[in-house]
């Protein structure tokens, strides 16, 4: 694989020096839209709150881009956009299930060739020229605003800045989505058991976006050559960062950090007490059960033996009392309803009263 280095961001001839942090802070407080328009007689729609926030963010820092000679040719905009061939946009529907199921299965999942868009070198140059030309225009408009006495864009300049910025973001997204498979391919090849696969893919996506910003298509290399190297470097940095963090903050087992099992213990104790109370109700016959009902319950749930013997089936109980298993089920349900009424009226009511008294006492 041929190695390339990130191209230093170039500026158009005559562009200003990058502002100092103090100047950036001043711009943050004075960014707004000038009320005076440079094009008299033309009505301009007002900016929405979202547009104003985006414009303020754009004007904080001079826009970076990769310069090219084609940006200064005559009819550059028409040659770069209107005369350029249409490039197929990628289908990324396959990518989301991979992220939703981050497991060993996703490491072996492949992308269908029909879902991939593989760009030629010429198509990549078209997209990157469009992307960087949009940023070039944003940079020129920023300098035009900062050269004004009030340092504020007119409504026309504001709309033009937002238009070119959003166009650059759309092309950036298209390039990144076209090359998403590179991230998964590099993540599957990387053997880093200490790094979670989802974190690895996330770091690769960020590296892919940074590679789009720094790639110089004018050098004649394919974007995948540059992007794969950038993604692998990002994986390496992520692994070293995690390794240093674990060395600095080693963790041992701490029982105090264990999840509390209070609710499970409380529920188990409640079920045990309730089962004991049901057995007491049946044996003492506090629910006015008939002899047949008591016999069915004792054999079905092993109440006489305290649950030590295996309970009988409906058919086995039916053979003892001489009825069908459906009739045994009906007798059982009727007896259980009587027990439920007795349980709710006495045992559960007493528990609720005790809980209310405990709550009142704690206050």
Q: Is the pLDDT assigned to residue 44 strictly greater than 70?
A: no
Residue 101 pLDDT: 46
Q: How confident is the model at residue 168 (pLDDT cuts 50, 70, 90)?
A: very high
H helix and E strand count, the chain? 15, 0
User: What is the CATH number that goes with domain 262-354?
Assistant: 1.10.10.10
Percent of the chain surpassing pLDDT 90: 25
Instruction: Enter the DSSP assignment of 86.
Output: P
Q: Is the pLDDT assigned to residue 27 strictly greater than 80?
A: no
21-34+44-248 and 262-354 share one fold: no
Give the domain ranges of the chain.
21-34+44-248, 262-354
| Average pLDDT rounded to a whole number, residues 328-334 | 90
Residue 307 pLDDT: 56
Least confident of 173-177, 224-228, 301-305: 301-305
Q: Is the pLDDT assigned to residue 4 strictly greater than 60?
A: no
Residue 320 pLDDT: 86
| Average pLDDT rounded to a whole number, residues 231-245 | 83
Architecture of domain 21-34+44-248: Up-down Bundle (1.20)
Instruction: Enter the DSSP assignment of 249.
Output: S
Distance CA 273, CA 40 (A): 86
Report field, pTM of the whole predicted structure over 0.85:
no
Contacts of 6 (CB under 8 A, 6+ apart): 214
Q: What Rg do the C-alpha atoms of the chain give, in angstroms?
A: 37
At residue 149, what are phi and psi to the nearest 5 degrees?
A: -60, -40
Residue 348 pLDDT: 60
For residues 335 and 245, the model is more confident at 335
Least confident of 14-23, 214-223, 269-278: 14-23
pLDDT tens, position by position, 281-315? 888 888 888 888 888 888 887 776 655 567 888 88
As to burial, measured by CB atoms within 10 angstroms (0-12 exposed, 13-18 middle, 19+ buried), residue 136 is buried
pLDDT tens, position by position, 97-131? 444 444 444 444 455 555 577 888 888 999 999 99
Q: What's the mean per-residue pLDDT of the chain?
A: 78
């Amino acid at each position: 694989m041929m190695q390339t280095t990130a191209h230093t961001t170039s500026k158009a001839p005559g562009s200003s020096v990058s502002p100092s942090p103090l100047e950036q802070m001043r711009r943050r407080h004075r960014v707004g839209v000038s009320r005076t328009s440079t094009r008299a007689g033309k009505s301009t729609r007002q900016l929405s709150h979202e547009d104003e926030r985006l414009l303020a963010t754009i004007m904080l820092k001079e826009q970076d881009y990769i310069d090219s000679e084609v940006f200064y040719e005559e009819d550059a905009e028409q040659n770069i956009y209107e005369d350029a061939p249409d490039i197929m946009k990628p289908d990324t529907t396959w990518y989301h299930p991979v992220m939703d199921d981050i497991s060993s299965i996703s490491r072996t999942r492949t992308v269908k060739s029909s879902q991939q868009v593989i760009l030629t070198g010429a198509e990549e140059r078209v997209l990157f020229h469009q992307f960087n030309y949009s940023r070039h225009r944003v940079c020129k408009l920023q300098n035009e605003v900062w050269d004004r006495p009030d340092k504020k864009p007119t409504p026309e300049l504001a709309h033009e800045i937002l238009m070119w910025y959003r166009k650059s973001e759309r092309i950036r997204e298209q390039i990144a989505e076209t090359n998403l498979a590179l991230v998964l391919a590099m993540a599957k090849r990387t053997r880093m058991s200490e790094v979670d696969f989802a974190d690895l893919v996330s770091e690769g996506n960020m590296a892919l976006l940074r590679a789009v910003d720094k790639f110089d298509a004018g050098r004649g290399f394919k974007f995948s050559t540059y992007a794969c190297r950038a993604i692998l470097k990002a994986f390496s940095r992520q692994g070293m960062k995690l390794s240093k963090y674990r060395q600095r903050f080693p963790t041992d087992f701490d029982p105090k950090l264990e999840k509390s099992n209070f609710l499970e213990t409380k529920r188990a104790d409640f079920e045990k007490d309730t089962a004991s109370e049901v057995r007491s109700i049946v044996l003492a016959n506090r629910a006015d059960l008939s002899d047949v009902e008591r016999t069915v319950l004792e054999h079905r749930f092993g109440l006489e033996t305290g649950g030590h013997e295996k309970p009988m089936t409906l058919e086995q109980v039916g053979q003892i009392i001489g009825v069908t298993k459906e009739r045994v089920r009906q007798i059982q349900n009727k007896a259980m309803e009587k027990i439920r009424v007795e349980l709710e009226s006495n045992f559960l009511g007493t528990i609720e009263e005790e809980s209310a008294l405990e709550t009142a006492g704690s206050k």
